[in-house]
Amino acid sequence: MVTSTEAIIKVRGLRNQFGNNVVHQDLDLDVCRGEILGVVGGSGTGKSVLLRSIVGLMTPAAGEINLFGKNLLALPSAERAALEQRVGVLFQQGALFSSLTVLENISLPLIEHAGLTRTEAGEIARVKIALTGLSAHAADLYPSDLSGGMIKRASLARALALDPDILFLDEPTAGLDPIGAAAFDQLLMTLRDAFNLTVFLVTHDLDTLYTACDRIAVLSQKKVLVADRLEVVANLNDPWIQDYFQGPRGRSAFQAVERTGASPTHHQ
């Protein structure tokens, strides 16, 4: 539940470009502590590029990225590495190591970054596996043995390995059936509330936006066009926003939330 207006992530004047192709220009964004922020936008608006910039996987052409009050781009490498360990990332395809079991995948950051022994890391990894709703026997499976939903949960368990303050999720429900996607949304809200996580969530899943997100940031025209509560964003007079939120799928997602008796901002 959001209890703070403190910006745990501050992006100012961000520019990302590939050659002559400018993806972001003068992009500003705040993410508040404890919120689930849904990031949406049309194809080519740079949703994943923005995520990768904030977590330090891409160096922007210009601008400032502040995490926990520190300018990420200006920090010495040791300080920056320490800061990045307070962040967990779930990549779009899971990005699990195919040659490692689920347990070994989750143990790896604990061994590499926290300096734990294999046994210690394994014990913590089993806790993370249980937290994400996977059965205990999933620990010994390889990624190729997992269903799509299990891959997402295993990847989430790995993202949670170092007890991060912020979770970055790139299309976490993509490819899941509606029941699996809804279960993932509920899990995300439960984890956020239990551990006071801040969640930066790139998604195109309208059900996720209506169910799980406190605010929505829309990328358009190379910047954040709006970042606000869903009912404010959905009524903005912009062609893409109207097509997206007021089209048949948007209305269907809204009606589904209405039928459950929960308002789209029930977790505010």
DSSP per-residue string spanning 95-112: ---TTS-HHHHHHHHHHH
- pLDDT at position 69 over 80: yes
Structural domain includes residue 258: no
pLDDT digits (tens, 9 = 90+) for 6-41: 899 999 999 999 999 999 999 999 999 999 999 999
The answer to whether 122 touches 140, Cβ cutoff 8 Å, is: no
- pLDDT at position 191 over 90: yes
Structural domain includes residue 25: no
Average pLDDT over residues 95-112: 94
pLDDT of residue 251: 57
pLDDT of residue 267: 45
Measuring CA to CA, which residue among 55, 102, 12 is closest to residue 198? 55
Residue 145 has what DSSP assignment? G
Structural domain includes residue 191: no
Structural domain includes residue 70: no
pTM: 0.89
Structural domain includes residue 138: yes
Distances (CA, A) of 249 to 41, 75, 88, 178: 15, 44, 31, 13
Average pLDDT over residues 214-223: 96
Structural domain includes residue 155: yes
Structural domain includes residue 89: no
If one counts the domains in the chain, the total is 1
pLDDT of residue 4: 63
Question: Which pair of tokens denotes residue 148?
Answer: 């799509």
pLDDT of residue 259: 54
Sorted by sequence, the CB contacts under 8 Å of residue 177 that are 6+ apart come out as 149
Distances (CA, A) of 67 to 5, 31, 110, 166: 15, 10, 22, 10
Which element (helix H / strand E) includes 27?
A: strand 21-32
Cα distance between residue 199 and residue 32, in whole Å: 9
Structural domain includes residue 116: yes
Where residue 225 falls among pLDDT bands split at 50, 70, 90? very high
Q: Which domain holds residue 144?
A: 97-163
Radius of gyration of the chain measured on its C-alpha atoms: 18
Distances (CA, A) of 224 to 86, 216, 261: 25, 10, 31
Where residue 134 falls among pLDDT bands split at 50, 70, 90? very high
User: 70-74, 92-96, 127-131, 166-170 — which is least confidently predicted?
Assistant: 92-96
Where residue 246 falls among pLDDT bands split at 50, 70, 90? confident
